[in-house]
Structure 1
Amino acid sequence: METLELSIIMPCLNEAETLATCIEKAQWYLQEYQIQGEVLIADNGSTDGSQDIAKRMGARLVNVTEKGYGSALMGGIIAAKGEFIIMADADDSYDFRSLNPFVEKLREGYDLVMGNRFKGGIKPNAMPFLHKYLGNPVLTWLGKLFFKSPCNDFHCGLRGFRKRAIMSLNLRTTGMEFASEMVVKATLNGLKITEVPTTLSPDGRSRKPHLRTWRDGWRHLRFLLLYSPRWLFLYPGFFLMIMGLISTIILLASPRVHSLLYSATAIIIGFQLVNFAVFTKIYAIQEGLLPNDKRVLKFKDLFSLEIGLIIGSILFIAGLITSIFALFQWEAVGFGALNPVQTMRLVIPSVTAIALGLQIIFASFFLSVFQLKVK
């Protein structure tokens, strides 16, 4: 396959109103700056004649049958002949004549060059109020918090990248969250990332955009959470365990046995969340969804089924012994009425120890299944 320097990719689904304008601007850019490149239209099943427009304008048409924004883009990326790729929507909201900042950064050696609309300028009516002041800032902030990403506009639709670098990420999402997946995986895999200011203009279509504020916003948020087991499971789990443990120690000397029950429950739920964090992280690494983590590898080396069985059995036996002691206390009063304040101070920690012990035992077996798969 012939290799070019640049492929300009536009995902397309019924963009007949603006497609010709976008293609014309992209072709002008390639010619004006004497870049060996192509304009590639990744069509996702248009029914308004967009395919004919692309052919008539001399763009290369790639038909992508699997539905979704991410599917269309991935189909275009795979088919692209360029060493570098610049992608943007075909709605005329980005100016394809102003791609030099992206190309220059790619030539400097960057793997991913993100546009930043908040630095370059958002023209009046170009971005809905909720997107501008809630959706994009919040999701970008979460992306930076969860993944330490250098990007300040996570969802800018105009971005450039090296084809080889992005193909190595094994991107899998098919919808609008594809934009988040690219940034997250590029960050986690240590790609060289930068951003340049870009301008967002009102799109030239008379119809509503494909983007749905709440549906697609949730899909982006869901993706960020699922790709960060630390923030979804680990940190909340540790918080519940620590607060539950502190509360339990304080309440053991208190008559507030109902509060003691809740604090013990927090310990159990928190520990279960920590388990989920470990399971999810190891599974994601083994399936190639997340890169290797030295801390996880060290944990797998130090932890064994036997160690888990020993720790879990100690807790289980301790809880069982104290439960038997509570039973003897009940027998001492002829299995009659008990003072719940005194009894529950012993029963609640006993049940908690039994539950934690069993969780550790079966979690150890579950982790061993992962290790068998690796071997």
Structure 2
Amino acid sequence: MPNTTAIVELTILMPCLNEAETLAVCIEKALGYFERSGVVGEVLIADNGSTDGSQQIAESLGARVVDIDEKGYGSALNGGIEHALGTYVIMGDADDSYDFSDLDGFVERLRAGDELVMGNRFRGGIEPGAMPPLHKYLGNPVLSWIGRMLFRSPIKDFHCGLRGFNRQSILDLHLQTTGMEFASEMVVKSTLGGSRVSEVPTTLSKDGRSRPPHLRSWHDGWRHLRFLMIFSPRWLFLIPGTAAFAIGIAGVVLLGFGPLVIGRIGFTYSSQLYLAALAVVGYQSVLFAILTKIYAQHEGFRIPRSRSFERLEKRISLESSALVGLGLFLLGLAIAVVQLVGWATQGFGALDVEGTLRVAIPAALLMMLGSQTIMGGLFLGVLSVGTKRR
């Protein structure tokens, strides 16, 4: 137990769900680190509903146990961080895959002022059989690369479970995810918030449990990727969507005046139809990027908040979107009505297919874009109602 007469400098935090096989050895290594290093600290077990006696094992060895009712890896860690007494917290899984007796590198960097210190298993060494090939060669490298690319993070091992941080700095980030994506949220928010982030080499040993791990590769990998997508709609949706929309609109307008020949390639109404589809997809992507970021802003996901986007957000409302969307839809409808009237004056006879489609395709495109704009505005209205309730 921590020395109550001294300020607790470090909390070693372990989330726990039925870890009776390996919990004792992890706690003993952590306590041994305190004894060897002289760091004043505590071992805190954030129990997430164990039924195998893990709580009793922890308490018998001198660790402090807090019960976290809300299920999930992120929930357990968030609850543990709130209950921690230390100025600094080092968290790690209780499966004996990380060495809690060797934390000097983390403590050194934390004392130097770093607010998040990540372990890097690829630099420190991965024991044979400790990491599945799918995770080692695909999952971790790809997701870490995406994280570095989207957020300019210096971290090369986004998902290392052994990491240290300044407790107050992490509390100030208001981490919200409840599952395995909590690991990504901590790195992303720290990076976006301008925190001092660093890495130290750490080793990964083979899981000491006889049962399968809680991690589900594809399910949890998708949750990490989905989280990264929510945090960076610009590069995944806004920029590609804007490019697709611009190309599509330009092509539809140009082909509305007649066939276009570039070199040996001719473009006509069939190309115009596909370009209209490209414009619709691009516009939907842009709307998705805007609505996703508004959702992220309202939920406190984005740190720091973008002032330029906030100004844009104030100009976007259910009413303004409905008016713009209605205007686009009515313009397209008016073109369609004019075509219908013209056809009627001809006695509804045979039409010039190419000439008719060159006008009908832009008209249909305007009606689709108008409908999308109206529905986007309605969804924005739903988001606004949700925030007012809170």
- Asked if residue 205 in structure 1 is aligned to residue 209 in structure 2, the reply is yes
Moved more, 264-273 or 323-332: 323-332
Moved more, 75-84 or 59-68: 59-68
Equivalence for 2:32: 28
1:283-294 alignment runs, 5 A limit: 283-291=295-303, 292-294=305-307
1:1-375 alignment runs, 5 A limit: 3-249=7-253, 251-252=255-256, 253-254=258-259, 256-291=268-303, 292-300=305-313, 315-316=328-329, 318-360=331-373, 363=376
Q: Deviations over 1:192-217 (max 9, x none)?
A: 21111111111222222221212221
Q: Is the 8 A contact 2:230 2:296 kept in 1?
A: no
Distance 2:100 2:172 in 1: 26
Q: Is the 8 A contact 2:139 2:221 kept in 1?
A: yes
Q: Deviations over 1:19-43 (max 9, x none)?
A: 1111111111111111110011112
Shift of 1:307: 7.0
1:317–1:43: structure 2 CA closer, same or farther, 3 Å change rule? closer
Distance 1:356 1:51 in 2: 58
Moved more, 8-17 or 243-252: 243-252
Report the AA paired with residue 282 of structure 2.
Answer: G
Q: Deviations over 1:170-198 (max 9, x none)?
A: 11222211111111121222222111111
1:45–1:247: structure 2 CA closer, same or farther, 3 Å change rule? same
Provide the alpha-carbon RMSD of the alignment.
2.6
Distance 2:323 2:216 in 1: 52
Distance 2:89 2:116 in 1: 10
Shift of 1:118: 0.9
Moved more, 305-314 or 129-138: 305-314
In structure 2, the residue corresponding to 1:122 is in which secondary structure?
coil
1:209–1:317: structure 2 CA closer, same or farther, 3 Å change rule? closer
Q: Deviations over 1:331-371 (max 9, x none)?
A: 34211121211101011112222333454466567657878
Distance 1:63 1:360 in 2: 47
Report the AA paired with residue 4 of structure 1.
Answer: V
Shift of 1:299: 2.0
1:15–1:307: structure 2 CA closer, same or farther, 3 Å change rule? closer
State the TM-score, normalized to the length of structure 2: 0.87
Shift of 1:114: 0.5
State the TM-score, normalized to the length of structure 1: 0.90
In structure 1, the residue corresponding to 2:368 is in which secondary structure?
helix
Distance 2:170 2:347 in 1: 73
Report the AA paired with residue 337 of structure 1.
Answer: A
Report the AA paired with residue 221 of structure 1.
Answer: L
In structure 1, the residue corresponding to 2:88 is in which secondary structure?
strand
Gaps in structure 2 of 5+ consecutive residues? 260-266
Q: Is the 8 A contact 2:253 2:362 kept in 1?
A: no
| Seq. identity, % | 55
In structure 2, the residue corresponding to 1:4 is in which secondary structure?
coil
Q: Is the 8 A contact 1:19 1:91 kept in 2?
A: yes
Q: Is the 8 A contact 2:230 2:293 kept in 1?
A: no
Distance 1:367 1:12 in 2: 39
